[in-house]
Chains A and B, each alone.
Chain A
Amino acid sequence: MSLPSSAPAAPILELDGISKRFGPVVANRRIQLKVYPGEIHAVLGENGAGKSTLMSILAGRYRPDTGRILLDGQPVSFASPAQALARGIGMVYQRFMLVDALSVVENLLLGHARGRFRLDIDAACRKIASFSQAYGLAVDPRKTVRQLSMGERQRVEILKLLLRQARILIFDEPTAVLAPPEVESFFRVLRRLSRKGHTILFITHKLEEVLQMAQRISIMRQGALVATLTPRQVSSRRELARLMVGREIVLNVHKQPSNAGEVILAAEGLRARDDTGQVLFEDIRLHLKKGEILALTGVAGNGQSPLAAALAGMPPAFEGRITYRGRPFENSRWQRRPKPNMVYIPEDRHTTASVGPLSLTDNFLLTRLKNFRRQAHLARGRARLATGDILTRYGINAPAGPQSLARQLSGGNLQKFILARELDRRPDVIIAESPTSGLDVRATEEIWRLLLQQREQAGVLLVSGDLREVLALADRVAVMFRGRILATLSTARAEQVARIGLLMAGVPEKANRHAIEA
């Protein structure tokens, strides 16, 4: 590897004292960073460390408050992403910037087709094909973006930048939405781009990726750049994690073997379609036992979310039968039935699970109303005390106690509050959807502990696409692909764990077409 530390090459990009604040929050603090031509440079940090802000400044989305950006040694300043792109800096955001209703070729023509009035779709397709070939970015230019997998959409984003002659490509958490095999092919693309002289910057918080891919690693913590090193200088993942978090952390929650009891929730032959007739999920058979954590995993959009919602008694309407504590329920009766001992933690903690402009006490009352009212009268004083009580017991950091507004809480604290609110009523079934998405390591650890504790008296259905989380918590894993459960595997058996990734990508396996019930 030609490493810049020994190479005499001049940096292609240099950040000199970049600072950026949003209101009272300092997102970036006097950042110094050099990026060399052709390297793959990882920017590692926890959520909220300021990585995305820094990269967005580079890509022209934000303007820095202070500091300079030097491109090829010349100071530059960008008023818009288009200006940055004109100078060869392009970014692929976590949320892909594609118009779903348009075709691939139309998306690629957007923004630089202004030569002639008439669009020459055929010529554009030929040009795209030649780029696809050269960089190993296979995608059908005439398909509508809506029909593409996440991996294909990412390739379209990369093609978009390449067609505009980007030399520096920035990726924000590029592997977050990809299935493991897609990640592999994405990495191959990265290497090929780098070999062809493109400079790659990618944001991540996944240590494995950094060690596998990066030629240099910059680590950010609380808005500051704390170190830039090469993988050789890193002695262990633990050290990398320590640099990232600033303290010794072990992301290992101690899990006792499960002590599963009777089946508490079971589903038989569930299926549902959305408004447009697309299958959301079908042929679903699963059972959840008391005392275990069952994970429902898969790449986002393969039916896990609607299935979890249906199990929790929310829309979509479904066909099939759900058995709860030995009593069978048909679809509509299940949805109408009150479920005092079942809790549902939706993925979107900001808009589905809580109401931002209301106080924590009011948010507490949203799901706990029954215990705090007599006819129309609301026992607010008692509710406030109860809210204060869970804040202390669960160690939730709220600026103004029970009177804080939900939107004032950080993501981690809000999630803890929501969990606390629900767990406090001692449920026997917990359905939690991506409970730690977007949370930092510390908050993740605490949420995991809370869920593991619940295993004592309840069955937990964990819906998560994060394999790390699934393996840390679950006793059994049901893998979903295109609306079906492909297999249910035991996390205690290594040879079964190894298959999860392939199953998530829908790679068919004859051997376990019939679910293995652990």
Chain B
Amino acid sequence: MDLFEYQGKQYFARFDIPVSPGDKADTVDEAVAAAEGAGYPVVVKAQVQVGGRGKAGGIKLANNADEVRTHAGNILGMDIKGHVVKRVWVEHASDIDEEYYASFTLDRAAKKHLLMLSAQGGVEIEAVAEKDPDAIVKLHIDPVVGLDSATARQAAIDAKIPERALDGTADILVKLYRCFTEGDCDLAEINPLILKPTGEVHALDAKVTLDGNASFRHPEWAEYAATEELDSREQLAKTHGLQYIGLEGTVGIIANGAGLAMSTLDVVNQVGGTAANFLDIGGGANADVMAAALEVINFDQNVTSIFINIFGGITRGEEVAKGIVEALGRVDLRAPIVIRLDGTNAEEGRKILAEAGIPESKLRSEATMLEAARTAVALAKN
């Protein structure tokens, strides 16, 4: 789950990482109130989960209430690369001496945490990596050992961060690492991490991705989930607890297992079709889950055929079949289903489908993934 900047800053504040005083605002009046609270001058920042906000005019400096009104009025409702701005963050503008970069992620190849630190911040770190790879210090951290302030300070020295910013940087690194680990982040990034003329080090931006698997121990994440940027199909899928990603094509996809679902998309593409979605009903999917999945697919007006691709492991064939029969009773499906059912209890499943008396115009069974894909694509084009 990706957080908006203001949520990231609020999350940072939980771990005592210094951020600028400010507040979120959904209207021009709220923006003025936030500016009065933060103290002028302020920066009005569009809250969208896409890069290049500044270039698009989504970040503006304001010295008084009139300027806040003008900028907030322009930015709220602005379209930035397809993302409509519904909210701004208004914070006290900082004086900046220098800009650095700091982030923690998991290095999957090394199976360790990875600190990336650079004295060249404020620009895309990928650009720095390409132009001057030596300007980025990469430090692996054993998750069992963790990060202490001496190690953090040494990393800052290695990154050529100047003497007067070392203590502040090391302090923030240790706090950011706590945020990353205890806060269950996939990514915790500060760009830029700034040095003020007064010598304080401070997070001017916040990019945080939370690990959804850890939501059971973070009740405070509920408010972030409520503002997630989802299309209406994804919203419906989420209420059913389904792993769904909306795409642009016409063949609705239901599969069990992420790998098989991805593969189903690929095969549909290979035989000349386009997938309307990715939908993994996961292991242990029962009749209710299948019915919910069909409901979500049916909600997508672009769908002209549905390809159900099930290979049973935990998911049992007879459960899938019962789910389809039940869903056909509950939901008036606009598109025909093509199903390929194999694996655990597949024969029982096929028997249930055959005996349910569903007409061939609504449901067809195919023996292989490739044949089922061809049939589904042909039906989608009719």
To the question of whether A and B form a pair in one complex, the answer is no
